[in-house]
Amino acid sequence: MRAVKYISVAAVLAATLLVAAGLEAAAFRRHYYSRWSYYPQRTYHYSYYYYKPYASYPKYDYHYCVYYPSRPKYVYYYNPYQKSYWGRYDLEQKGYSMLAEADRKPTLTEIPEEAFPEPSTMPAIPESEDGEQMAAPPAPPTETPEGDQPEGDQPEGAPGDPQ
């Protein structure tokens, strides 16, 4: 009888752990996006793109996805390690435009429109060598909080790095 009780307790504990593990499943993916957040001082929305260059990499690195309501056609990718924009996703054409190394700059105003190539497939996960492609970004918010309409297309400072 005691053995049955211990087995029952162990089964309940195991089931609880499995449910908790399911809730934490996102932490075990190789790459994923966070939810969108709004940065009212700079009037843009941002999401983190978390990735591992290879599956056994010990931690997640990240880049920012930045959505400017004043540029509603694109989600821009910003590398906080190199402090520069490196491409954008075209929400209408459903394709990615990767900037050449020489065209990657810390602000969008420094990047001429013609520097963005025609949209194509999503690039490989940053720093990866196996060619696994990034997933497309999540759909950006359709509304900006009331009273926080954008004044320009380029906030000062790095995305997600309030000053």
**Would residue 34 count as lying in a domain?**
yes
pLDDT value of residue 114:
98
End-to-end CA distance of the chain: 65
Rg of the Cα atoms in the chain: 20
Domain presence at residue 20 = no
Find out whether 143 and 91 touch, Cβ atoms under 8 Å: no
Would residue 2 count as lying in a domain?
Answer: no
> Is residue 17 a part of any domain in this protein?
no
Quote the pLDDT of residue 41. Answer: 85
Q: What's the pLDDT at 40?
A: 85
DSSP β-bridge partners for residue 50: 32, 62
Total count of domains within the chain = 1
pLDDT for res 43: 86
Residue linked to tokens 């307790």 = 9
Identify whether 18 is part of a domain.
no
Predicted pLDDT of residue 22: 37
State which amino acid sits at residue 162: P
State the virtual CA torsion across 76, 81, 84, 87 in degrees, nearest 10.
-40
Quote the domain boundaries for residue 118.
29-163
Is residue 134, in this structure, part of any structural domain at all? yes
pLDDT tens digit at each of 163 positions of the chain:
565 455 554 444 444 443 343 334 444 689 999 999 998 888 899 999 999 999 999 999 999 999 999 899 999 999 999 999 999 999 999 999 999 999 999 999 999 999 999 999 999 999 999 999 999 999 999 876 554 444 433 334 455 432 2
Residue 103 domain-assigned (yes or no): yes
Would 19 be classed as within a structural domain?
no
Amino acid 142: pLDDT: 81
Residue 23: per-residue pLDDT: 37
Region for residue 23 given its phi and psi (left: phi exceeds 0; alpha: psi -120 to 50; beta: otherwise): alpha
pLDDT of residue 1: 57
| CB-CB neighbours of 5 under 10 Å | 9
pTM over 0.95: no
